Structure 1
Amino acid sequence: MAGKRGSRSKSSRSRKQAPRLTGKARVWAWVRRLSMWGGALALLGAIALGTSVFFAARGMPSFASLMSSQNGQTIIVRARDGSEIVALGPSYGEWLHDEEIPEIMKIAMVSVEDRRFYSHFGIDPLGLARAVFNAMQQDRRVSATSTITQQLARNVFLNSNRTWDRKLREAVLAMALEWKFSKEQILELYLNKVYFGGGAYGVDSASRKFFSHSARELSTAEAAIIAGLVKAPSRYSPTADVQAAVGRANVVLDQMRKYGGLDERDLAAVDVSAVNLREEAGQNSIRYFTDYVLPQLDVLLTNDSFEPIEVWTTIDVGMQAAATSAIQANVPGGAQGALVSLDRDGAILAMVGGTDYISSNYNRATTAVRQPGSAWKLFVYLTALEAGYTPSSGVHDVPVTIDGWSPRNSSGRFSGDIDVRTAFAYSVNTVAAQLGNEVGFSNVASMARRFGITTPISTFPAMVLGSSEVRVIDMTRAFAAVAARGQSVEPYGIIRVTNADGEELYKHEQTRSFTLVPDYVAAGITDLLQTAVNTGTGRAAQIGRPVAGKTGTTSDNKDGWFVGFSSGITTGVWMGRDDNAAVPGLQGGTAPARAFASYMRYAVRDRPEEEFDTDLQLPEWQLEPDDEFYFGEPGDYYYIDEQGNLIEPGRPSGAGDQEMFDVDGERQGTRQGSSVAPGSSVQDMGLPDPPQAASDDFLERATGGTLPSGQNRRQGQSGVTVQRGGDPP
């Protein structure tokens, strides 16, 4: 027992003597544990990554196989009738081996795309850390940090989807490439396979396309231009935008000066603007459309295959040609024009993004944002109609000031009392301002959002006159929804995609439409739009059949718009200068309206003429109240006719004899033919009792007494009680 007590005592003492950890010691203990666990996890991650890279390198094709493999995809684009409109695909020059590629080309590419190319192992940790730090400092997304090796891995093995899964696979494949091939081999593969725009893959193809000679003969300026294309081939293409290409090439030269080890004096003498470019024949404006729809394939197609495909589109070749001619024939000198035309289901029938695709492939129909001017009043009047106005409602064209802002009419005059229809047809600014103020500028903005405007919208008072910038395709979509009687419309350009064997890879399914405004609002705004073309500012858009539309002109004639619809086709036209300078004489009712009419005469020629539904079936709350609304039909109640006679239910005025009462209810006699004897009451004739003015309970409370026992007690009825020979109680 003593031994046991002794041992228990020792154990107790040892527990009591165990040192307690201080706060700092506990922290360090946790740090050590986390470090151990973190190190273990990092080790496991490194083993997993190394294993992935090892097996990826083992399964990677040989250098010879990669040389012969074709990246890029052949795409045949077809119109809605099945005819081929353009064939897009890779164009390859000669394969240049490492020793054949000019050193200046290598320096230019490494300097601008991956300056630590010769020191990293496929991914650039320093570049990634810098990108993450900059993103955190500037509160934005992490910018692109792909190395040349990563770009090669993506171009050869993957697609361009921006997903974490794809980025992880890209990193693994990049390290596998570095494991298997030398830096010289990787750069040779890259320079012979990278895309430089216009279908050109590889430096030799790009050199022949832009400078008409082999890449073996590239000068420093030419190498800088080609190296600058990789970041954005369409934006910096020297055949599309020379200034953009020269500016980008100068950035490349600056990078070469910093990281290429070249003599500054030699580089300073390089004049990129003096480079002779190969002249290229004009291309059909349909390229604006293909540039818009083909990038959508990355989303529509889920596989990563590079097999040839055929894309069946909504474009109508005849309408596209008519649209191109309409813009080119009517656009003012020095200005640009854009057009989008939609079928009633949202199918894009024609798209023109500028006057010449080769001189500028910038798509003003889908990318440019410009002020719509009075075309924006569509949303102001939609909001007003939804709030209870009708086309015939009275408004006042008078001077008005809202929060210090005083709009003026283009005519400089005020018309006084007019109706909504006239105010819209002649684009009266003061009325639009008053309506916007009354219904709420935020509600007008919400209406625009409802109808598909995707750009930022101001809610200052001047917004009612179109101060917020919009895209042509968005405005056209909004008017198409009006043409669809207030149902939403979603523009689309691709009908289906098939592979070389005819297997369907994608098929368009009509999106579900939503009611944006009630039928009576759509009918009302169509009434206004039709009047604007028939008698208002849009008369130049008439085509010999019903047309509804709206003009738009911004201050100093910087922008001109006409957007309208007829026979199920909605078309939007914009004209103006890219530098936003004034265009003398440009108004929505002139050149844009004429271009609209020129195009639409062709577009609707084979379609039946359609009358617009402008019959306003107003909701019950908007109807003017009348007696029948409150009391029912005349045969259901007593009433006083024009002569002051009480008419009983079911008996027309003048049919038979009626007793006549004065305003107090006293009998004044009988009309001719009366069968009511003097001294008799209506009750004596066995007719239904007319309703009394107040209930018996009310009368008893009001008089403080009890009604005679013989009095009829009829509760809760309106009207008067008729008594013989005296006033009503």
Structure 2
Amino acid sequence: MARKERAHLKREASRQSAGSRSRTVKRGARRSHERGAFARWTRRFVLWGGGLAVLCFIFLGIAVAFAARDLPSYYQLKASQVGQTIVVRARDGSQIVELGPSYGKWLDSHEIPQVMKDAMISVEDRRYRSHFGVDPIGLIRATYVWATGDKRFGATSTITQQLARNLFLNSNRTVDRKLREAVLAIAMETKFSKEQILELYLNKVYFGGGAYGIDSASRKFFSHPGDDLSVAEAAIIAGLVKAPSRYAPTADVDAAVDRARIVLQLMEEQGRISPMQANVDVSAVKLKQDRSQNSVRYFTDWALPQLDLLLPETFEPIEVWTTLDPGLQEAASDALKANAPGGAQGALVSLDRDGAILAMVGGTDYVRSNYNRAVQSLRQPGSAWKLFVYLAALEAGYTPEDMVKDTPTTIEGWTPRNSGGGYAGDIDVRTAFAYSKNTVAAQLGNEVGFGTVARMARRFGITTPISTYPSMVLGSSETRVIDMTQAFASVAAEGQSVQPYGILRVTTASGDELYRYSPPRSSQLVPDYVAAGITDLLQTAVNTGTGKAAQIGRPVAGKTGTTNSNKDGWFLGFSSGITTGVWMGRDDAKAVGGLQGGTAPARAFAQYMKFAVRNRPVEEFKTEVKLPEWQLEPDDEYFFGNPEDYYFIDEDGNLIEPGMGDPENGPGENPFDVDDQGLPIPPPAPDVDGRTGRQPAPQQSPTRRAPPAIDDDFLERATGREIPDDSGGQSRAPAPPSVPQTPRGSTSSQRTQN
């Protein structure tokens, strides 16, 4: 029995051993199969990957070969320039600014200081001497940084790649551009030597401020040629390439110094300079003062874009001769800085009698803010807008001596109030303007029509939208400083249109003339007597009114302007052929304490104008109002014409020929000047102005035409239409609409109380 159990156990053990061997064999076969599959895929990957790499290298080689074949020669690249140089000159021929690329002198490789080469290689491409145009180590490092979490793939271009981009490509951050940049860089490395590439780079790379190349940058920032650069100067220039506008010494000295210290540190780490050289005091470098960043740039920013319209397409260097007076520009900038309240900005435009811009300042500091408030900013002009209200009133028949009422008034629910809250009662037009009476301006605007005032502003050069609500007479519509100055210049020109301009002529560097200014045809905006009348009012405003702070010891005519809560202050005026407009206020339109047109703006105007007119003869204004003949000595025949010159129809429908009169009343009788009893009504005696001793002139419509000899009302009157007169008992015909029913010289109560 025991023998059987032992045999059974042996058989069981044998079966288990066979099963174990079977499982082991199976596992080994599976492992062997897996190793075989991995090997097969590895071989496939190596073969396919290698083949693909070979194809890529073939295509890259073909692309590089074609690129190298099409590349310009070294000497062609050396002679090429990017962009257009523009030299801007003042009216006296002096250079005020040079814009666009400036290349300076070309420095050959042996003329470039070694410290300049080392500084540029250290900060831009430390393996420049060893790579083939593309830096594989830098590319692998950038790929690793990107793969480990940095979302931006920040590979740094080599010097050769930067040169290829600057010469042939744009700065778009696209894969296509990067690939083309790499191909071109490799092609350049195959065609040019390292020294040639570095020479091209250092003579063409942009360093900011229009400077291309180290010689131009050295002259711009240090006032000496680029072949004489110190270690510190080389570090400053090399540090500019990364961000020329940010690190330029003329824009931010501290940023430029900090960046230069980083360059010196890199040069020391790479063994290109000694520790002693790396410790040089960069802040002690003497920088050239940059005059191109002063207030003159406000003018050039406005004038130079006009060249696109004035010139044919050209890329050669040009010289632009302008109307700007450097002395007046500096005086204008100083006047604004000296008088603008704390926290407020300012703008000034000054025009010669023909519209030539003598000075333009768009802010108190161009470096801090290049926003040109003289031509771009829209601000409410306040009472300076009354210029157009009174121009419309004078054209409608008013004169400076006419009486108006400074009393409370309400127009369409709007009740204007004077500054200070007081009312003067009966005053003349001259006084109302001089003291900027809001109630009188509102009544005049309502009488002539707010649309008429808007059209007058358009006539004088206002280009911005104009509302026709009653409050528009007090300057609620926003406008520009240059437009308001243009309007006052047209008044100074005795009503002739004036168009501001800033460019006199444009020439090439060789002297060929491309453009010359041709004065536009001038037009008469208002009659002479209207221009004389408004000049009278403007002069009074400076002599005795709100603009007294603008007096300069010779005749000045001008107007103040102040908006609600002292948000804007204006003064605009003219003297001796120069018209100047000044605005002050905050960019955020917040109130400025104490700011009024008659304070800081008027003082800035006076400070500037005293300098501007110092060498000009004193000129008296033409303020005598010579009314046209049709406005003098009006009578019934003037208003209505001679009745005998017309055909009339009597009450029975019979035709009455000229000169026959009424058959019942005899020849020459006026058939309609009779009362209800048939008695003739004598014509009213005309009023006589007590001051002048003559009959006042009639009010006229803004079209400046004499009243028509006959109109619809007259025909109705001639055919028997009757309306009640002031007495209520008799009847007579109404006067034509263009004739005021209140005779000139009266209190004009009907005219000003609407």
User: What TM-score bracket applies, with the shorter chain setting the length?
Assistant: 0.5 to 0.7
> In structure 2, which of residues 310, 319, 341 is the aligned counterpart of residue 300 of structure 1?
310
- Among residues 585, 592, 608, which one is paired with 1:599 in the alignment? 608
- Report SS of the residue matched to 1:473: helix
TM-score (norm 1): 0.58
The CA distance in 2 between the partners of 1:515 and 1:408, in whole Å, is 35
Name the CA shift for 1:553/1:503 in 2 (closer, same or farther; >3 Å): same
Question: Residues 179 and 503 (structure 1 numbering): CA distance in 2 closer, same or farther, change over 3 Å?
Answer: farther
- Give how far 1:99 is off: 11
Q: Given the alignment, which residue of 440, 446, 470 partners 1:431?
A: 440
Contact 1:240-1:361 at 8 Å conserved across structures = no
Question: Which of the residues 347, 369, 380 maps onto 1:360?
Answer: 369
Give the counterpart of 1:84 among 91, 95, 99.
Answer: 95
Q: Distance in 1 between matches of 2:76 and 2:445?
A: 67
- Distance in 1, matches of 2:165 and 2:530, equals 55
- 1:407-418 correspondence to structure 2 within 5 Å: 407-418=416-427
- Given that 2:298 and 2:362 are in contact with CA atoms closer than 8 Å, whether structure 1 keeps it comes out as yes
Q: Residue 577 of structure 1: CA displacement?
A: 2.3
Residue 543 in structure 1 maps to residue 552 in structure 2: yes
Pick the aligned partner of 1:532 from 511, 527, 541: 541
1:383 aligns with 2:392: yes
Structure 2 gap segments, 5+ residues each: 1-66, 105-115, 127-134, 143-151, 156-162, 172-176, 190-197, 223-231, 256-284, 655-662, 672-678, 681-754
Distance 1:379-1:631 versus aligned 2 partners, 3 A rule: closer
Distance change (3 Å), C-alpha of 1:212 and 1:335: farther
Q: What secondary structure does 2:83 align onto?
A: coil
Q: Note the alpha carbon deviations across 1:540-599, whole angstroms, 9 max, x for none.
A: 111222211100112222221110011111011112223322222211111211121122
SS of the equivalent of 2:601 reads helix
Query: Do 1:433 and 1:464's aligned partners in 2 also have CA atoms closer than 8 Å?
Result: yes
Partner Cα distance (1:69, 1:290) in 2 = 27
Note if 1:575 corresponds to 2:526: no
1:134 alignment partner in structure 2:
none
Residue 545 of structure 2 aligns with an amino acid whose one-letter code is: G
Of 328, 331, 338, the residue aligned with 1:319 is 328
Aligned runs of 1:499-578 on 2, under 5 Å? 499-578=508-587
Q: Which residue of 2 aligns with 1:69?
A: 80
Alpha carbons 2:409, 2:439 under 8 Å: kept: yes
Q: Write the deviation string for residues 65-124 of structure 1: whole angstroms up to 9, x where unpaired.
A: 3465222333333222223333445246989999974799999xxxxxxx9999xxxxxx
Change (3 A) 1:351 1:117: same
Aligned to 1:717: 668
Secondary structure of 1:90's partner? coil
Contact conserved, 1:385 with 1:524, CA < 8 A, in 2? yes
- Contact 1:373–1:553 (CA<8 Å) still a contact in 2? yes
Q: Is the 8 A contact 1:282 1:358 kept in 2?
A: no
Which secondary structure state, in structure 1, belongs to the residue aligned with residue 415 of structure 2?
coil
How far the C-alpha of 1:383 sits from its partner, in A, is: 2.0
Please list the CA deviations of residues 244-296 of structure 1 after superposition, one character each: whole Å capped at 9, or x if unmatched: x9xxxxxxxxxxxxxxxxxxxxxxxxxxxxxxx99984634323222322232
Query: Does the 8 Å contact 1:77/1:312 carry over to 2?
Result: yes
Deviation at 1:492, TM superposition (A): 1.1
Q: Report what 1:649 is aligned to.
A: none
Contact 1:532–1:550 (CA<8 Å) still a contact in 2?
yes
5 Å matches for 1:99-178? 101=124
Question: How far off its partner does 1:622 sit?
Answer: 4.0
- Quote the Cα distance in structure 1 between the aligned partners of 2:214 and 2:591: 42
Residue 300 of structure 2 corresponds to residue 290 of structure 1:
yes
In the alignment, is the contact (CA less than 8 A) between 2:123 and 2:238 conserved in 1?
A: no
Distance in 2 separating the partners of 1:621 and 1:183: 88
Describe the shift of the 1:631–1:414 C-alpha distance in structure 2 as closer, same or farther (beyond 3 A).
closer
2:348 to 297, 319, 339: 339
Measure how far apart 1:151 and its partner are: 10
Letter in 2 for 1:285: S
Q: In structure 1, which of residues 587, 590, 601 is the aligned counterpart of residue 596 of structure 2?
A: 587
1:406 aligns with 2:357: no
AA in 2 matched with 1:78: R
Output one character per residue of 1:135-169: Cα deviation in whole Å (capped at 9) or x when no partner.
xxxxxxxxxxxxx999977999xxxxxxxxxxxxx
Of the three residues 441, 444, 447, the one matched with 2:450 is 441
With over 3 angstroms needed to count, the CA separation of the structure-2 counterparts of 1:377 and 1:719, relative to structure 1, is closer
Contact 2:120-2:238 at 8 Å conserved across structures: no
Kindly provide the amino acid, as one letter, of the partner of residue 612 in structure 2: A
Q: Distance in 2 between matches of 1:458 and 1:700?
A: 52
CA distance in 2, matches of 1:379, 1:196: 51
> What is the aligned-residue RMSD (CA, Å)?
5.3
Structure 2 Cα separation of the partners of residues 699 and 384 of structure 1: 41
AA paired with 1:463? M
**Number of residue pairs aligned between Structure 1 and Structure 2:** 513
State the alpha-carbon separation in 2 of the partners of residues 556 and 88 from structure 1.
42
**Please, what TM-score do these two structures have when normalized by structure 2?**
0.56
Deviation at 1:325, TM superposition (A): 2.6
1:630 to 1:509, Cα distance in 2 relative to 1, 3 A: closer
State the alpha-carbon separation in 1 of the partners of residues 475 and 664 from structure 2: 67
8 Å contact from structure 1 (residues 212, 278) kept in 2 = no
**Match of 1:473, as an amino acid?**
I
The share of aligned pairs that are identical, in percent, is 66
- The separation in 2 between residues aligned to 1:201 and 1:366, in whole angstroms, is 31
Residue 191 of structure 1: how far off its partner (Å): 12
Q: Against the structure 1 CA distance between its residues 519 and 623, is the aligned structure 2 distance closer, same or farther, given a 3 Å change threshold?
A: same
Structure 1 residues 714 and 381, CA, compared in 2 at 3 Å: closer, same or farther?
closer
Q: Secondary structure at the match of 1:349?
A: strand
Q: Take 2:667 and 2:205, find their aligned partners in 1: how far apart are those partners?
A: 90
Matching of residue 199 in structure 1 with residue 210 in structure 2: yes
1:618 to 621, 627, 643: 627
Native 8 Å contact 2:382 2:563 kept in 1 = yes
Equivalent residue, structure 2, for 1:492: 501
- Preserved contact between residue 221 and residue 250 of structure 2 (Cα < 8 Å): no
In structure 1, what residue type is equivalent to 2:84?
Answer: Q
Q: Give the letter for the 1:386 counterpart.
A: E
SS, match of residue 344 in structure 1: coil
Shift of 1:209: 7.0
Letter in 1 for 2:590: A
1:249-264 superposed matches below 5 A: none
**CA apart distance, 1:478:** 0.8
Tell me the secondary structure at the aligned position of residue 85 of structure 1. Answer: strand
**Secondary structure class of the residue paired with 1:605:** coil
Distance in 1 separating the partners of 2:577 and 2:387: 18
CA deviation profile, 1:30-80 (whole Å, cap 9, x unmatched): xxxxxxxxxxxxxxxxxxxxxxxxxx9999845763465222333333222
User: Does the aligned pair in 2 maintain the 1:78–1:310 contact within 8 Å?
Assistant: yes
User: What whole-Å deviation, never above 9, does each CA across 1:576-629 have from its counterpart, x for those lacking one?
Assistant: 223322222211111211121122122222222222222223345544513785
Structure 1 or 2, whichever has the larger Rg, is 2
Contact 1:547 / 1:564 at 8 angstroms: preserved in 2?
A: yes
Q: Which residue of 2 aligns with 1:482?
A: 491
Give, as a single letter, the amino acid of the residue that structure 2 aligns with 1:323. A
Residue pair 1:377, 1:432 contacting (<8 A) in 2 also:
yes
- Would the aligned equivalents of 1:482 and 1:522 in 2 still touch at CA under 8 Å? yes
In 1, distance between residues paired with 2:84 and 2:304?
12
CA distance in 2, matches of 1:237, 1:432: 54
C-alpha contact 1:239 1:358 (8 A) present in aligned 2: no
Cα deviation code 1:190-235 (max 9, x no counterpart): 999787863244899999979987599769xx95x65xx6xxx9xx
2:359 counterpart letter in structure 1: A
Counterparts of 1:241 and 1:392, CA distance in 2: 60
Asked whether 1:458 is paired with 2:467, we answer yes
